[in-house]
Amino acid sequence: MFYLARLVSEGLKSLAKGIETLAKQVDGFQVDGSGESAKDTSAAPKADATKKAKPPAQKKAKSKATDLKKEKPTSANETVLRLIRRSKNGIATATLCERTGFNKKKVQNIVYRLKKQGQIKAVAKGVYGNV
């Protein structure tokens, strides 16, 4: 309980510092009579004036083939199915848990669903392979 209170307290302090920083930035702007906002140069820190804006980084053009290879599976089912299809002799559920980071129950449910759909088959007890 004490740990939780301390954690909340630290979070609130951090939030207060962020709000103070934003308030200082807002104070740097003033609104003139026309409704346009103008930067107040007297309140702005001098360090901001010396900073130079960096041009946006240009992205390198990639071929579609490399994009498809590095594309991550969109669902947990696809992740498990991809691992099963890559294995020659089948893969155990314990190995699937290690490689995916999913818990045992989640892997078992996914394997059950894929087996029902006919996308994988049981090679041995707890070992599944491609159809």
DSSP string covering 99-120, please? Answer: HH---HHHHHHHHHHHHHHTSE
The Cα–Cα gap between 14 and 8 comes to 10
Instruction: Note the pLDDT of residue 109.
Output: 96
Instruction: Note the pLDDT of residue 70.
Output: 59
Domain positions in the chain:
2-47, 70-130
| pTM score over 0.75 | no
**Domain spanning 70-130, CATH class:** mainly alpha
Q: Mean pLDDT for each consecutive 10-residue tract of the chain (131 residues)? A: 75 84 76 51 52 65 53 83 94 95 95 95 94 87
Instruction: Note the pLDDT of residue 85.
Output: 94
Instruction: Note the pLDDT of residue 15.
Output: 83
Instruction: Note the pLDDT of residue 71.
Output: 65
Instruction: Note the pLDDT of residue 35.
Output: 52
Tokens, residue 45: 């820190």
